[in-house]
Structure 1
Amino acid sequence: MPGERGRRITVRMLLNHTSGIPDHIPHAFPSLQERSPRSLDDNRFREFSPAELIELGLSAPPAAEPGATPGVYSNTNYALLGELLAKVTGTTAQEYITRNVIERAGLKHTAFPAGPRIKGPHSKQYEALFGLLDPPHDYSVYNMSWVTLGAGLVSTMEDLNRFYARLLDGRIVGRAALAQMRRTVPVIALDGSTIEYGLGLHKLTVPGCGTFWGHDGTVWGAGTLSLTRSDGRRQMSVAVNLARWQQAEDGSEHPIDVALRTLSGQALCDDGSALSTP
């Protein structure tokens, strides 16, 4: 990244989202700023290059000053990290991650998609876009180049549990690197909430139940959340195939939110009580 701004941004800032570089997604899907879903269909088969995504992010007004907290979650950071990884290793980020993370962790059903279609049995993916798509649209076939390194992996709940169990047990990266991953800062997530974020790890403290580490992610029509307790004795991975089901102007709680909160309370806590009530 040229200029004074580029000299101030470190690799850690890209990893923990304190770079101040804004997310490219609102600019890759410009109709969203007009509360229109048109861009989702326009981009269904579009192949974005990392350079395009990075340019979209860097051309937008900065989200914050480099290093400032709270940070602002940005998928542009992942596009930059992918290009940096390719430059350092001499191979694509997808190839490097596949060899050194996916295969090392023994993930049998996890891979980057090789096109807009998912191979093998899989669920449909339905996007409601907060009521703008009614009925929800099926986006099961979609080119994931708009978010490949941020949320483009195809996986299973079993593989997610296996990955986080091995990561947090120090079997994918060393203990020193894992300690760095757990150094958190406040970050404003894409939904506007403030979370504790390390280097690719989200920290969630559940009163009476312990500290959990993991991540969530969403694409058009699908979402995933995976959490593992620090002692490794509790894990939860959940996938949904209807995304943004809430009505934007409806203040009432959606039954899906109630069900997910109840499930989380039962899965994360020994007595099943936490998170089960608002």
Structure 2
Amino acid sequence: MKTRQATPSAGLDPADLKSALDDVHRAGVPGVFAEVRDGDRIWHGASGVADVTTGRPVRADLRHRVGSVTKSFTAAAVLQQVERGRIGLDAPIGDHLPDLVPGERGRRITVRMLLNNTSGIPDYLPHAFPSLRGFPSLPDVSTESLDDNRFRTFRPAELIAMGLTAPPTGEPGGPTGVYSNTNWLILGELLAEVTGMPAEECVTRNVIERAGLRHTGFPAGPHVEGPHSLLYESFYGLIEPPRDYSVYDMSWVGTGAALVSTMADLNRFYALLLDGGIVAPSSLVEMQRTIPVRALDGSMIEYGLGLHRVDTGRGTFWGHDGTVWGAGTMSLTRADGGRQMSVAVNLARWNRPDSSGRPQPHPIDAAMKALYGRAMG
């Protein structure tokens, strides 16, 4: 591991951080919890409830569905196999999975393009959840699919086929990317092909266990094991009051977004990853080569190989955000490792639409932005 010079920080102010959490709760999130690290100092905090019916308080150490934060774990597992010579980062995916990604696409799309979302393969989600297909035009959608799929077990190949048969979002390897969960299920199948074990087992053995994470794993069924919050989905006001989706078959996202973790484990993971404890320095360089990528909400992000880059007045941070039904997570670590934050909320898609059906800003947005700002120092 390398030794890095830490950026000067404002330090940890527990009262200020707790106040920021409370503001998020008061703005409308039932429960919010976080871990912030500054050098050797660690702060844990929580505000609100884990269950709106019983009033059970939320705690900082709860396990949580962390959504697309999973992609950083999957990317690290892929880069490890690149280091071992089993995968070529710029090799066509068709070399490994000719039946899954056949023909010209298999010859043109490389492993790197899957990792940085420049494959041009669209997301399968509108097809797996057909009642959501009109989004973001909310008058044209319903949330019926969310309930229809609660206990449905998808096969990765089934979801990948949905993405591959939809119109491409662009040419492979273009200068900008379009975020797509389909890429990440293909990468899971790639891991299974080259290691001879299920992708989830590969990530568990080579990334989760290597990092010493004791509260992180892929769910074995629809339930979150261990202490956790209920997870309330609003879907832009279409579900009112928000409904609990904490019990859900996560095969719909698999190696793209199914992980359960804690905020402490996420901070430990990213600290080790950025310090060379999970992949080699040369692999980390590749992971941090970013391009502009259009996220699912339409915003543009700087995206590498399973890592977001976020530039702030306090330096450059690396990490990932994630959301699944009812849950949101943000985990960011400053490039020098000196400052970290991981934040979880048990409410998702709280923005209400205007008369045209477009989601509008909500007080929660400003409160979350303020919390992130204080947590990043």
Q: TM-score, normalised by structure 1?
A: 0.94
Distance in structure 1 (CA, Å) of the matches to 2:104 and 2:256: 26
| CA drift at 1:256 | 1.4
Question: Are the aligned partners of 2:222 and 2:250 in contact in 1 as well (CA < 8 Å)?
Answer: yes
Question: Are the aligned partners of 1:125 and 1:242 in contact in 2 as well (CA < 8 Å)?
Answer: yes
Alignment of 1:24-173 (within 5 A): 24-33=124-133, 34-173=140-279
Question: Are the aligned partners of 2:231 and 2:346 in contact in 1 as well (CA < 8 Å)?
Answer: yes
Q: Which residue pairs with 2:42 in the alignment?
A: none
Q: Which residue pairs with 2:54 in the alignment?
A: none
| CA drift at 1:119 | 1.1
Distance in structure 1 (CA, Å) of the matches to 2:359 and 2:231: 25
| CA drift at 1:6 | 1.7
Structure 1 stretch 252-261 or stretch 59-68: which is displaced more?
252-261
CA displacement 1:65-122 (0-9 Å, x = unmatched) = 1011210000000110011110001001100000000000010100000000111110
C-alpha root-mean-square deviation of aligned residues, in Å?
1.0
Q: Which residue pairs with 1:232 in the alignment?
A: 337
CA displacement 1:128-167 (0-9 Å, x = unmatched) = 0001111111101000000011111000000000000000
Question: Are the aligned partners of 1:160 and 1:226 in contact in 2 as well (CA < 8 Å)?
Answer: yes
Distance in structure 2 (CA, Å) of the matches to 1:131 and 1:145: 25
Structure 1 stretch 252-261 or stretch 27-36: which is displaced more?
252-261
Residue 20 (1) aligns with residue 115 (2):
no
Distance in structure 2 (CA, Å) of the matches to 1:248 and 1:83: 38
Question: Are the aligned partners of 1:218 and 1:243 in contact in 2 as well (CA < 8 Å)?
Answer: yes
Structure 1 unmatched runs, 5+: 270-278
Residue 215 (1) aligns with residue 320 (2):
yes
Distance in structure 2 (CA, Å) of the matches to 1:244 and 1:69: 30
Letter in 1 for 2:330: L
Structure 2 unmatched runs, 5+: 1-100, 134-139
- Indicate which of 325, 334, 350 corresponds to 1:245: 350
Distance in structure 2 (CA, Å) of the matches to 1:248 and 1:87: 44
Structure 1 stretch 14-23 or stretch 2-11: which is displaced more?
2-11
Q: Which residue pairs with 2:375 in the alignment?
A: 267
Distance in structure 1 (CA, Å) of the matches to 2:211 and 2:181: 24
| CA drift at 1:258 | 1.5
Question: Are the aligned partners of 2:117 and 2:179 in contact in 1 as well (CA < 8 Å)?
Answer: yes
Question: Are the aligned partners of 1:69 and 1:187 in contact in 2 as well (CA < 8 Å)?
Answer: no
How many residue pairs match? The answer is 268
- Indicate which of 256, 271, 275 corresponds to 2:364: 256
Q: Which has the larger radius of gyration?
A: 2
Letter in 1 for 2:376: L
- Indicate which of 198, 201, 210 corresponds to 2:307: 201
For residues 17 and 251 of structure 1, do their structure 2 counterparts lie closer, same or farther at Cα, with a shift above 3 Å needed?
closer
Q: Which residue pairs with 2:79 in the alignment?
A: none
Q: Which residue pairs with 2:137 in the alignment?
A: none
Question: Higher relative contact order by CA 8 Å / sep ≥ 6: 1 or 2?
Answer: 2
For residues 135 and 67 of structure 1, do their structure 2 counterparts lie closer, same or farther at Cα, with a shift above 3 Å needed?
same
Q: TM-score, normalised by structure 2?
A: 0.70
Percent pairwise identity: 69
